[in-house]
Structure 1
């Protein structure tokens, strides 16, 4: 079995410093970024940021650990999270605060890095007001990719905090227990970044980025399987009435999981 050593990506703290990989296409101009404005930067309590993507006019898909304050390990109030759709060089195509947020019930922010933490690292955010803009089209989601499939990642990171970048194309190396292992380069800020399939010429989200890792000494990234969780999280948001301004307390349950035997270490 492929040995995977994992480094949780985490949010990028605004005061932090981290190097980032090469081989990325900047989407910094309006022409380069055309069609990608549904990907945006998530501002987390003014202290950190992640990447998220619209999958409906009022719903943003991201990683569960983006809902936590990295300095206190506490949930950030939903009202302190803002989605900057198509953020580029100091301006966004749309600005929206978050009304409610839910994540997988089996996700534990304080747990050590293991298969359960990564495979459950998915969250859905409900915006206070839908984004209805003809230039911002929510992305569709699709089945998880298979080994050997080509994918791409659009993300904001330390070296690309003011405009998104596209890595096209990287490859799905393998899948194991809800985790998708990819050759894509990621780093701080890339948490929650959408992973796209470009089959049939139309980008569809097939995963989100949770962590970076090494597989047999080769840098890789780890994505979350979206089959099942998105529909369940949608239902949880619909049922989470009366929770405006705070993260949703009703969360998705999980089935049984098995240990892969992979070795995980902290960054």
Structure 2
């Protein structure tokens, strides 16, 4: 499945239907050296942590110094990517006690800090292979419920061309939440969402968000990005739903 996922991403890079460059967004920044998952034009911008849906997002931090993005989906549950829980030195999963969640993180401050007492990953996820891609998800269980606003999972599969938003804590500006608010879903195959949202390292585990009614819902979990374009892969929430109470 890992090979299939990478092949699909390569197809997006080459295919005429999906290899189109997004129109530059107002206020975007041209990139002399494209970051992975960004491309030559950067549409990301900082967001207000006091506004929905950003109030539900935070930093997933591991004892080994790893940082990813996570989303509060219940008072005591955080959704992120499975590969965010791997130790850099050994490639093994870290112990739950070595993981914490900082809700609403911004420039060293956060609204709440949650200790993780356990987690569940995709049942077929193999740390040695970093896959398969559709199993690259994790649900963290917090020791104490948080008072933050939890985001629901999308109640139906998203259709191609659905408008998306991707926001995460990324390597080039790790102290603020950067978001691409003008991207879309390209395709859905085998539990994977293929999208053209801009996001680089650190955005792993971040939610792909869509409008649902008057609010927002999580459609997927950011997992992989292309080398030099705003193209990426996310795990569809349909893969996660059976693991929830």
Taking structure 1 as the reference length, what is the TM-score of the superposition? 0.73
- Aligned Cα RMSD in Å? 2.3
Picking from 124, 141, 147, the partner of 1:106 is 124
Q: In structure 1, the residue corresponding to 2:94 is in which secondary structure?
A: coil
Gaps of 5+ in 2: 1-6, 12-33
What is the match of residue 125 of structure 1? 140
Q: Which runs of 4+ in 1 moved over 6 A?
A: none
- Following superposition, the deviation at residue 79 of structure 1 comes to 0.7
User: Does 1:55 pair with 2:55?
Assistant: no
- Following superposition, the deviation at residue 96 of structure 1 comes to 0.9
Q: In structure 2, the residue corresponding to 1:198 is in which secondary structure?
A: strand
Structure-to-structure mapping, 1:38-187, within 5 angstroms: 38-111=56-129, 117-132=132-147, 136-142=148-154, 143-187=156-200
- Following superposition, the deviation at residue 4 of structure 1 comes to 2.4
The 1:67–1:218 alpha-carbon spacing in structure 2 relative to 1, beyond 3 Å, is closer
Taking structure 2 as the reference length, what is the TM-score of the superposition? 0.80
Q: Matches of 1:38 and 1:196 in 2, distance apart?
A: 11
Q: Is the 8 A contact 1:144 1:207 kept in 2?
A: no
- Following superposition, the deviation at residue 159 of structure 1 comes to 1.7
Structure-to-structure mapping, 1:2-41, within 5 angstroms: 3-5=8-10, 19=35, 21=38, 22-27=42-47, 29-31=48-50, 33=51, 35-41=53-59
Q: Which has the higher contact order (CA 8 A, sep 6+)?
A: 1
Q: Is the 8 A contact 2:84 2:204 kept in 1?
A: yes
Q: In structure 2, the residue corresponding to 1:131 is in which secondary structure?
A: coil
Picking from 222, 237, 241, the partner of 1:209 is 222
Q: What count of residue pairs does the alignment treat as equivalent? A: 213
